[in-house]
Amino acid sequence: MAAAWSVLLPTEVWQIVFGYLPCVAARKCLSVSHFFHDLAAPLLFATVRIEFGCWKAGYGLIEKPPGGSSERRTCCILLRIITDHVFASYIKHLHVLAFSGGDRALELCLLTKAVNALRNLHTFRWYTTHKLCMIPDTALLETLTSSCIRLREYALPLQCADALSALKNVSAHSLNIHALPQDTLWHSRMVGHIYGPHRRPFVALLEAHSGALVQLSIPGTAVWDCPAHILSNLSHLEIHGAGDLAHVVEHCAQLKSLHISFRDAISKANEASATLAENPTALPNLTHLKLRFTPPAECLEGLLRFIGLKKNLRCLDWNDQCFTNMDLSPLLSVLPSLSELEVLGIDLRMNEILDDFAHFKHSVPKRVTALRLCLVYGFHQQPLPEGRSWTEMWECLPDLAFLSINDDEGDPIAKTCDLVAPARSLQFVAHRENLCEVFRTNQDPVLSPPWSHTKAMFRSVDDFGCEDWEWLMRGHSYALLEELSRGSS
């Protein structure tokens, strides 16, 4: 009898083939055969999200959480991890959506037992809010650091610094310590108030990672407490609410990725802008730069000079909805000089872009592979004149694989399908709250079903399959929250 066609190729070749399958196709393979199941399952269950409570209630999108279907699903997943070591071995990234106030000792106990079984876990992320706050207990953190020997990245609330700093065997190359949710409205003064009591254990936690830590995400008030030898070893730094960046400029000589964000602290944004403007040659190795604040007009020229001198810059995300397009014209003029730029995010005022759409279109480098546009509308919005359509722009970007458009649902620049059609290389589109994969059948684009709101809100590199796309969308969940808020009102 002839051998089954599925075994005519080595397993290693099939693993490569399955790595290119979209999730929809890979999920169908679970029921084709045991062989295909064993190839698809590690891909489909590499990232698992556990939800306690309801994150939409935690973010104030709904007043009353829905029934207990989510709780039952969570218990089923945790029990499967505890009782099935093969299934547990698939999981590399665990995201815990902890939005349930009150005493959750039973849930935490179950989660701790599940974490104890995750021998291949690489990433652990914990999400919560002040409204429905739930913090990992010491037993969970001890299990995480002692049992998950492959753990390399974790994101935890600042309140965990006390327990973590007292543990042994704490080792990771990426550390994310957040004082407050980073994608909702929060106040910088609250961050400082929360950080104060945890300052000493936070520094001790950094020292425990000395020599291993290369990626760090922290509240801005913690920057000056970071030891110089820790900063000098960093390649990635994410700061939320920082003011004076002199400490960063002085010690982060090896930095390749910098992400700075503010929400309400104008004075701190001015300080950060001034520091970068006064040190245009600093941080020469930057390849990724994300600025989510409004710099003062007097610092703009110096800040753009800082950007223009970063000749290795491959990814730039400028998130500022306050500047006029005239103010941003110098930035558009800088873009063509960045010879390595491939990933771009920018906010534009629609009324003003109509006046010089050709200038904007020609300013975007033709080699761009990922583009994020947030379109800010005026009171008297007019459609683009004929001959200056967005279609022309997508056609001018032959390598565009990822497109994110945040426009007005009541007056969109185009339907999602019309955005996709002209971009022949497009693989993924994020149109407002809808995130979809793009496939082509006989050159005609076909959109996957939109991601669930939970997946879209708590997305990861593993979900996108591309680090650039996740980086470009990082910090922009507030747009999704706004859309969901309008939908629930």
pLDDT digits (tens, 9 = 90+) for 145-167: 899 989 999 999 988 888 888 77
Overall average pLDDT of the 322-333 stretch: 74
Q: Which two tokens stand for residue 446?
A: 């076909």
Instruction: Grade residue 28 by pLDDT with cuts at 50, 70 and 90.
Output: confident
Is the pLDDT reported for residue 485 higher than 50? yes
Residue with token string 């994608």: 183
CA distance 42 to 21: 13
The residue ranking higher by pLDDT, 329 or 154, is 154
Q: How confident is the model at residue 417 (pLDDT cuts 50, 70, 90)?
A: confident
pLDDT at 191 over 70: no
CA distances in angstroms from 138 to 98, 131, 142, 178, 253, listed in the order given: 16, 22, 6, 18, 36
Q: What pLDDT does 397 receive?
A: 93
Single-letter residue type at 77 = I
At residue 182, does pLDDT exceed 50?
Answer: no
Residues 6+ apart with CB under 8 A from 278: 302
Higher per-residue confidence, 73 vs 180: 73
**Crossing angle of helices 266-278 and 297-308, rounded to 10°:** 40
Mean pLDDT taken over the chain: 84
Q: Among 62-71, 113-122, 294-303, 455-464, whose mean pLDDT is lowest? A: 62-71
**pLDDT per residue over 313-326, tens digit each?**
999 999 876 666 66
In this predicted model, what pLDDT tens digit does every residue of 15-24 receive, in sequence order?
Answer: 777 777 777 7
Q: How confident is the model at residue 183 (pLDDT cuts 50, 70, 90)?
A: very low
How large is the average pLDDT for residues 241-252? 84
Q: How sure is the predictor about 311, in pLDDT bands with cuts at 50, 70 and 90?
A: very high
pTM of the model: 0.90
Amino acid 332: pLDDT: 87
Across the range 260-288, mean pLDDT stands at 85
Out of 93-102, 293-302, 412-421, the most confident range is 93-102
Quote the pLDDT of residue 461: 92
**328 to each of 37, 260, 279, 299, 474, how far by Cα in Å?**
51, 19, 21, 13, 22
How far is the CA of 451 from the CAs of 208, 430, 433, 458, in angstroms?
Answer: 38, 10, 9, 11
* Cβ-contact 187, 159 below 8 angstroms: no
Which tens digits make up the pLDDT trace of 389-401?
788 888 889 999 9
Cα–Cα distance for residue pair 413/269, rounded to 1 Å: 32
Could you tell me what percent of the chain has a pLDDT over 90? Answer: 42
- Compare 95 and 173 and report the one with higher pLDDT: 95
341 pLDDT band, cuts 50/70/90, is very high
Give bridge partners of residue 236 from the DSSP assignment.
Answer: 215, 257
Task: Look at residue 10 and tell me whether its pLDDT is greater than 70.
Answer: yes
pLDDT at 426 over 60: yes
